[in-house]
A and B are shown apart, each in its own frame.
Chain A
Amino acid sequence: KAGVTQTPRYLIKTRGQQVTLSCSPISGHRSVSWYQQTPGQGLQFLFEYFSETQRNKGNFPGRFSGRQFSNSRSEMNVSTLELGDSALYLCASSLDREPEQFFGPGTRLTVL
Protein backbone atom coordinates (compact mmCIF):
# COMPACT_ATOMS: atom_id res chain seq x y z
CA LYS A 1 0.00 0.00 0.00
CA ALA A 2 1.43 3.39 -0.94
CA GLY A 3 2.30 5.77 1.88
CA VAL A 4 1.37 9.38 2.37
CA THR A 5 2.61 11.52 -0.47
CA GLN A 6 3.21 15.25 -0.42
CA THR A 7 3.87 17.61 -3.29
CA PRO A 8 5.92 19.53 -3.95
CA ARG A 9 8.86 18.40 -1.83
CA TYR A 10 10.60 21.75 -1.97
CA LEU A 11 9.30 25.24 -2.55
CA ILE A 12 10.86 28.69 -2.55
CA LYS A 13 8.63 31.74 -2.31
CA THR A 14 9.01 35.41 -1.50
CA ARG A 15 7.31 37.40 1.20
CA GLY A 16 3.75 38.35 0.41
CA GLN A 17 3.14 35.49 -1.98
CA GLN A 18 0.78 32.62 -1.30
CA VAL A 19 1.44 28.90 -1.52
CA THR A 20 -0.58 25.70 -1.79
CA LEU A 21 0.71 22.35 -0.57
CA SER A 22 -0.85 19.02 -1.41
CA CYS A 23 -1.20 15.78 0.50
CA SER A 24 -2.52 12.40 -0.62
CA PRO A 25 -3.30 10.09 2.30
CA ILE A 26 -2.92 6.36 2.46
CA SER A 27 -5.75 4.64 0.63
CA GLY A 28 -8.73 4.23 2.95
CA HIS A 29 -7.60 6.89 5.41
CA ARG A 30 -10.15 9.67 5.76
CA SER A 31 -8.42 11.79 8.39
CA VAL A 32 -5.64 14.13 7.31
CA SER A 33 -3.70 16.33 9.70
CA TRP A 34 -1.12 19.02 9.00
CA TYR A 35 1.86 20.02 11.12
CA GLN A 36 4.47 22.73 10.91
CA GLN A 37 8.02 21.88 11.97
CA THR A 38 10.59 24.58 12.70
CA PRO A 39 13.87 24.45 14.64
CA GLY A 40 12.62 26.96 17.18
CA GLN A 41 9.06 25.82 17.81
CA GLY A 42 9.33 22.14 16.98
CA LEU A 43 6.25 20.37 15.67
CA GLN A 44 2.98 22.22 15.91
CA PHE A 45 -0.47 21.07 14.91
CA LEU A 46 -2.14 23.15 12.22
CA PHE A 47 -5.46 21.43 11.56
CA GLU A 48 -7.18 18.16 10.87
CA TYR A 49 -9.71 17.32 8.18
CA PHE A 50 -12.11 14.43 8.14
CA SER A 51 -14.71 13.77 5.48
CA GLU A 52 -14.10 17.18 3.89
CA THR A 53 -14.71 19.01 7.20
CA GLN A 54 -12.20 20.68 9.47
CA ARG A 55 -12.48 18.73 12.68
CA ASN A 56 -9.74 20.31 14.77
CA LYS A 57 -7.64 23.45 14.53
CA GLY A 58 -4.40 24.59 16.12
CA ASN A 59 -3.33 28.09 17.10
CA PHE A 60 -2.27 29.53 13.77
CA PRO A 61 -3.42 32.77 12.15
CA GLY A 62 -6.14 32.79 9.52
CA ARG A 63 -3.50 33.02 6.78
CA PHE A 64 -3.22 29.26 7.18
CA SER A 65 -6.12 27.38 5.72
CA GLY A 66 -6.88 24.01 4.31
CA ARG A 67 -9.43 21.86 2.65
CA GLN A 68 -10.13 18.25 1.91
CA PHE A 69 -11.63 16.73 -1.19
CA SER A 70 -14.06 13.87 -1.56
CA ASN A 71 -11.18 11.48 -2.30
CA SER A 72 -9.60 12.50 1.04
CA ARG A 73 -6.75 14.36 -0.61
CA SER A 74 -5.99 17.56 1.24
CA GLU A 75 -4.44 20.91 0.48
CA MET A 76 -3.19 23.61 2.76
CA ASN A 77 -2.78 27.20 1.75
CA VAL A 78 -0.71 29.94 3.28
CA SER A 79 -1.47 33.46 2.12
CA THR A 80 0.68 36.56 2.48
CA LEU A 81 3.80 34.59 3.31
CA GLU A 82 6.12 35.80 6.04
CA LEU A 83 9.75 34.89 6.64
CA GLY A 84 8.68 32.96 9.73
CA ASP A 85 6.57 30.63 7.64
CA SER A 86 9.74 28.92 6.44
CA ALA A 87 9.37 25.40 7.74
CA LEU A 88 8.88 21.76 6.96
CA TYR A 89 5.15 21.11 6.54
CA LEU A 90 4.15 17.57 7.34
CA CYS A 91 0.95 15.83 6.48
CA ALA A 92 -0.31 12.75 8.31
CA SER A 93 -3.21 10.43 7.67
CA SER A 94 -5.09 8.00 9.84
CA LEU A 95 -8.04 5.67 9.82
CA ASP A 96 -11.19 6.84 11.50
CA ARG A 97 -11.28 5.72 15.15
CA GLU A 98 -7.55 4.96 15.08
CA PRO A 99 -5.21 7.47 16.76
CA GLU A 100 -2.08 6.25 14.96
CA GLN A 101 -0.93 8.70 12.30
CA PHE A 102 1.28 8.00 9.30
CA PHE A 103 3.41 10.83 8.01
CA GLY A 104 4.49 11.91 4.58
CA PRO A 105 8.00 13.15 3.76
CA GLY A 106 7.00 16.77 4.09
CA THR A 107 7.25 19.90 1.98
CA ARG A 108 10.18 22.17 2.73
CA LEU A 109 9.00 25.77 2.29
CA THR A 110 11.55 28.56 2.18
CA VAL A 111 10.32 32.15 2.23
CA LEU A 112 12.81 34.78 1.04
Chain B
Amino acid sequence: AQSVTQPDIHITVSEGASLELRCNYSYGATPYLFWYVQSPGQGLQLLLKYFSGDTLVQGIKGFEAEFKRSQSSFNLRKPSVHWSDAAEYFCAVGLRGNNRKLIWGLGTSLAVNP
Protein backbone atom coordinates (compact mmCIF):
# COMPACT_ATOMS: atom_id res chain seq x y z
CA ALA B 1 0.00 0.00 0.00
CA GLN B 2 1.12 3.53 -0.68
CA SER B 3 2.33 5.57 2.27
CA VAL B 4 4.05 8.83 3.10
CA THR B 5 6.34 9.35 6.07
CA GLN B 6 7.37 12.64 7.56
CA PRO B 7 9.83 11.58 10.26
CA ASP B 8 9.89 14.89 12.11
CA ILE B 9 6.70 15.71 13.98
CA HIS B 10 7.95 19.02 15.26
CA ILE B 11 10.93 21.21 14.32
CA THR B 12 12.10 24.48 15.84
CA VAL B 13 14.52 26.74 14.01
CA SER B 14 15.80 30.24 14.55
CA GLU B 15 14.79 32.99 12.18
CA GLY B 16 17.33 33.25 9.39
CA ALA B 17 18.48 29.66 9.76
CA SER B 18 18.16 27.10 6.99
CA LEU B 19 15.42 24.49 6.99
CA GLU B 20 14.99 20.99 5.66
CA LEU B 21 11.82 18.98 6.14
CA ARG B 22 11.97 15.32 5.23
CA CYS B 23 9.48 13.27 3.29
CA ASN B 24 9.73 9.64 2.21
CA TYR B 25 7.12 7.73 0.27
CA SER B 26 6.34 4.16 -0.59
CA TYR B 27 4.89 3.58 -4.03
CA GLY B 28 5.61 1.20 -6.89
CA ALA B 29 6.22 3.91 -9.43
CA THR B 30 7.08 7.60 -9.40
CA PRO B 31 4.03 9.41 -8.09
CA TYR B 32 3.13 13.04 -8.28
CA LEU B 33 4.71 14.77 -5.27
CA PHE B 34 3.47 17.79 -3.40
CA TRP B 35 4.26 19.97 -0.42
CA TYR B 36 1.43 21.92 1.17
CA VAL B 37 1.47 24.38 4.06
CA GLN B 38 -1.33 24.96 6.54
CA SER B 39 -1.52 27.90 8.92
CA PRO B 40 -3.71 27.60 12.05
CA GLY B 41 -7.39 27.49 11.19
CA GLN B 42 -6.68 27.66 7.48
CA GLY B 43 -6.89 25.38 4.49
CA LEU B 44 -3.93 23.98 2.59
CA GLN B 45 -1.77 26.06 0.28
CA LEU B 46 0.36 24.39 -2.36
CA LEU B 47 4.05 25.24 -1.95
CA LEU B 48 5.44 23.21 -4.84
CA LYS B 49 4.95 20.08 -6.90
CA TYR B 50 6.91 17.50 -8.88
CA PHE B 51 5.44 15.72 -11.83
CA SER B 52 8.46 14.89 -14.00
CA GLY B 53 11.67 16.36 -15.39
CA ASP B 54 14.10 18.42 -13.33
CA THR B 55 14.33 16.85 -9.89
CA LEU B 56 14.92 20.19 -8.14
CA VAL B 57 11.72 22.20 -8.10
CA GLN B 58 11.15 25.73 -7.00
CA GLY B 59 8.03 26.84 -5.19
CA ILE B 60 6.48 29.85 -3.61
CA LYS B 61 7.82 31.76 -0.61
CA GLY B 62 11.42 30.79 -1.40
CA PHE B 63 10.93 27.05 -0.89
CA GLU B 64 12.47 24.34 -3.02
CA ALA B 65 12.35 20.56 -2.96
CA GLU B 66 14.46 17.82 -4.44
CA PHE B 67 13.12 14.50 -5.70
CA LYS B 68 15.52 11.60 -5.18
CA ARG B 69 14.20 8.46 -6.85
CA SER B 70 16.83 6.19 -5.29
CA GLN B 71 15.80 7.28 -1.80
CA SER B 72 12.07 7.68 -2.48
CA SER B 73 12.37 11.10 -0.94
CA PHE B 74 11.08 14.58 -1.63
CA ASN B 75 12.64 16.88 0.97
CA LEU B 76 11.62 20.49 1.34
CA ARG B 77 14.24 23.17 1.88
CA LYS B 78 14.51 26.87 2.50
CA PRO B 79 17.83 28.70 2.90
CA SER B 80 16.61 31.33 5.36
CA VAL B 81 13.47 30.92 7.44
CA HIS B 82 11.17 33.83 8.28
CA TRP B 83 8.95 34.04 11.35
CA SER B 84 5.93 33.91 9.05
CA ASP B 85 6.96 30.42 7.91
CA ALA B 86 5.75 28.97 11.22
CA ALA B 87 2.99 26.54 10.20
CA GLU B 88 2.22 22.88 9.56
CA TYR B 89 3.82 21.35 6.48
CA PHE B 90 2.42 18.34 4.69
CA CYS B 91 3.96 16.12 2.08
CA ALA B 92 1.54 14.30 -0.22
CA VAL B 93 1.73 11.88 -3.11
CA GLY B 94 -0.76 11.60 -5.91
CA LEU B 95 -1.27 8.48 -7.97
CA ARG B 96 -0.74 8.72 -11.69
CA GLY B 97 -3.68 8.16 -13.94
CA ASN B 98 -7.23 9.28 -13.63
CA ASN B 99 -7.18 9.54 -9.86
CA ARG B 100 -7.13 12.61 -7.67
CA LYS B 101 -6.65 10.77 -4.39
CA LEU B 102 -3.78 12.24 -2.38
CA ILE B 103 -1.99 10.24 0.29
CA TRP B 104 -0.62 12.38 3.06
CA GLY B 105 2.12 12.39 5.61
CA LEU B 106 1.11 13.30 9.15
CA GLY B 107 2.78 16.67 8.87
CA THR B 108 5.68 18.54 10.43
CA SER B 109 4.94 21.44 12.73
CA LEU B 110 7.47 24.23 12.29
CA ALA B 111 8.15 26.77 15.02
CA VAL B 112 10.42 29.75 14.38
CA ASN B 113 12.31 31.44 17.18
CA PRO B 114 12.96 35.17 16.80
- Number of A-B residue pairs at CB separation under 8 A: 58
Using CB atoms, name the residue of chain B closest to A31: B100
User: Is B44's CB within 8 Å of the partner chain A?
Assistant: yes
Say whether chain A's binding surface is mostly helix, strand, loop, or mixed: strand
Is the beta-carbon distance between B98 and A99 smaller than 8 angstroms? no
A43 and B49 contact, CB distance less than 8 A: no
Is A103 within 8 A of B102, CB to CB? no
Q: Which residue from A42, A44, A103, A106 sits with its C-beta under 8 Å from B107?
A: A42
Asked, given contacts A42-B107, A100-B49, whether A55 binds B100 with beta carbons under 8 Å apart, the answer is yes
CB atoms of A45 and B102 under 8 A apart: yes
Q: Does B99 contact A (CB under 8 A)?
A: yes
Is the pair A56, B46 in contact by a Cβ cutoff of 8 Å? no
- Which A residues touch B102, using CB under 8 A? 33, 35, 43, 45, 101
**Which residues of A74-102 are within 8 A (CB) of B?**
90, 92, 94, 99-102
Residues B106 and A55 in contact, CB atoms below 8 Å apart: no
57-109 of chain B: CB within 8 A of chain A: 90, 92, 94, 96, 98-107
The minimal Cβ–Cβ distance linking B55 to chain A, given in whole angstroms, is: 17
Q: Taking A43-B90, A90-B44 as contacts, is the C-beta distance between A101 and B104 under 8 angstroms? A: no
Q: Taking chain B's interface residues, is the majority helix, strand, or loop, or is none over half, making it mixed?
A: strand
Output the residue of B32, B34, B99 with the most chain A CB within 10 A.
B99
| Interface size bracket, A side | 20 to 34
Instruction: Knowing that A33-B101, A99-B51 touch, tell me 14 more A-B residue pairs with CB under 8 angstroms.
Output: A31-B100, A35-B102, A42-B105, A45-B103, A48-B100, A55-B99, A56-B99, A56-B100, A58-B101, A90-B43, A100-B46, A100-B49, A101-B94, A103-B36
26 contacts between A and B (CB under 8 A): A31-B100, A33-B102, A42-B104, A42-B107, A43-B102, A48-B99, A55-B100, A56-B100, A56-B101, A58-B101, A90-B43, A92-B44, A99-B32, A99-B49, A99-B51, A99-B94, A99-B100, A100-B34, A101-B100, A103-B43, A103-B44, A103-B46, A104-B43, A105-B43, A106-B42, A106-B43
5 A-B pairs with the lowest CB-CB distances in the bound complex, closest first = A43-B104, A103-B44, A103-B43, A105-B43, A99-B32
